[in-house]
Amino acid sequence: RLGAKRDGTLVALQARLVVDCGAEPGGTASIVGTLLGGYYKVPHLFIQGFNVMTHLPPVGAYRAPGAPQATFAIEGAMDRLARLLGREPIDLRLQNASAEGDPMPSGRPWARIGLRQVLERAREHPLWQNRRPGEGIGVAVGGWTGGVESASACVRANTDGTFQVVVGAVDLTGTFTAMAQIAAEVLGVPVEHVRVVGADSDQAPYAGMSAGSKTIYTVGAAVRLAAEDARRQILAIAAKELEAREDDLEITDGQVRVRGVPSKGIGLDDITEKSMRFGAKYPPVFGRGSVAAPKQSPGFAAHLVAVAVDRETGEVRIEKQVVVQDVGFAINPAAVEGQIFGGAAQATGWALFEGLTYDGSGTLLSSTFTDYAVPRATAIAPLEAVMVEVPSVEGPFGAKGVGEPPVIAGAAAVANAVADATGVYIATLPLTPARVLAALSRSA
């Protein structure tokens, strides 16, 4: 339940959350409550959350656990409030959107967030600017607080002037490529000269799980520190060899040169060879980097969705989907775009197809792909990713985790688009043809 003044200012939110944990404790009520009451500035909150154990199979974390549910509830309510007040949905959201320093339901302040920025960019998009009433255009925004954990990394120079980055993380989503780019940028070498070795939790430095949209934010930050440490060691050796001050040196294209004197330089392979041979007068270049669990760096994404609804069959077809996401800083734009597209595709599944069905005894009836529907490639609409960069304070080069935010608001945007097309808001997912037809019949 939302309470607002006639001018659209939110004044109160009341919610009751019941999370089915299955046969083991550990539900997501705290996450749902945090996000449900955190996107917007609401001075009066009353949120009750219950993690309830049942005889169903235990639940586990899956891409932003709890966030799509919280977002589906609050974003549907915001759209209905906008319609009641005669307001533009994005304008109403911007009027109340939380910003850095605003309190979360826990009382802790939001860190630097790009909620307003993604909404503003979504409002400027042609899909939103050129919409017509009842056309079936929906919007929703959602965010993820971001995981945090301590992490370490090391960077080792090889005798040929290449480098090896050693981390304990796994290459779950192209993170090794991004880590190589981070190290290469710091060291002043082509990315092809950096090799990342990981996934050995016994021998490699601590990295924690590759989860929570935190790998680049935490392990990537440790890689940057390790590369900076290795760079300092390289410059110290080069300064002695070139008889120059370290502050006057720069590393470009695998060479350490004296600024302003291009002819005076030494190759990285020469430096590393001098430190890795019998009788070497310098220690091997071996950089270390560690970070304690940094502050959270939340990521937000707004979805714009265009749908067509067949009133005879109840079928909903997504015709266009735009995801505007704050990525902090896109170290590897192609990989980030892939994450955004993947999140949007998964959101399509949650919005229109996917659902677990149990009988009265707790037996799962949708245990195979015969009964559990997932979207085919033909069901995925043309996708567009728009990246907004609101740099994080502690991430490498301002980067944030990007894995979970793009999936969060998709289902809510689809439901809001269906409501725009039909005048009927459906509060249960997935929006199957039978469910849509029943809702249209009840409203007739």
pLDDT on residue 66: 94
Mean pLDDT of 275-303: 92
> Where would I find the H helices in 148-202?
175-187
pLDDT band at 383 (very low <50, low <70, confident <90, very high): very high
Q: In this prediction, what percent of the chain has a pLDDT beyond 70? A: 100
pLDDT on residue 290: 97
Q: In what side-by-side order are the strands of the sheet with 163-166?
A: 194-197, 163-166, 151-157, 286-291
Buried b (16+ CB within 10 A) or exposed e, 302-328: bbbbbbebeeeebebebeebbbbbbbb
The CATH class of the 68-146+297-443 domain is: alpha beta
pLDDT(321) > 90: yes
Residues 151, 293 contacting (CB under 8 angstroms): no
d(CA 156, CA 229): 10
pLDDT on residue 202: 83
Listed residue (44, 40, 39, 36) closest to 15, CA to CA: 36
Tens-digit pLDDT profile for residues 400-421: 999 999 999 999 999 999 999 9
Residue where the block lists tokens 């021998």: 203
Could you tell me how many residues make up the chain? Answer: 444
Work out the mean pLDDT of the chain and round it to a whole number. 95
Residues 5, 12 contacting (CB under 8 angstroms): no
Half-sphere exposure of 286 (CA within 13 A, CB side): 6
Strands 44-53 and 137-144: unpaired
Least confident of 30-39, 290-299, 411-420: 290-299
Tens-digit pLDDT profile for residues 340-356: 999 999 999 999 999 99
The CATH 3.30.365.10 domain(s) of the chain lie at 68-146+297-443, 151-291
pTM for the full predicted model: 0.94
d(CA 402, CA 391): 13
φ, ψ dihedrals at 52, nearest 5°? -110, 125
CB atoms within 10 A of CB 211: 15
The amino acid sitting at 306 is A
Mean pLDDT of 260-268: 90
d(CA 157, CA 380): 45
pLDDT on residue 444: 76
**Any idea what the Cα angle at residue 212 is, between residues 206 and 215, rounded to 5°?**
45
Residue where the block lists tokens 């009988």: 359
Listed residue (140, 138, 207) closest to 169, CA to CA: 207
Tens-digit pLDDT profile for residues 114-146: 999 999 999 999 999 999 988 999 999 999 999
Mean pLDDT of 290-312: 94
pLDDT on residue 27: 83
pLDDT on residue 254: 87
Report DSSP state, residue 255.
Answer: E
CB atoms within 10 A of CB 221: 23
φ, ψ dihedrals at 63, nearest 5°? 25, 95
Per-residue CA distances from 380 to 87, 105, 318, 351 (Å) = 30, 35, 7, 12
Question: Residue 262: is it exposed, middle or buried by C-beta count within 10 angstroms (0-12/13-18/19+)?
Answer: exposed
pLDDT on residue 208: 87
Tens-digit pLDDT profile for residues 40-74: 999 999 999 999 999 998 998 899 999 999 999 99
φ, ψ dihedrals at 244, nearest 5°? -135, 165
The CATH class of the 151-291 domain is: alpha beta
CB atoms within 10 A of CB 7: 8
Residues 41, 102 contacting (CB under 8 angstroms): yes
Residues 291, 151 contacting (CB under 8 angstroms): yes
- What is the distance in angstroms between the CA of the first residue and the CA of the last residue of the chain? 25
Question: Residue 366: is it exposed, middle or buried by C-beta count within 10 angstroms (0-12/13-18/19+)?
Answer: middle
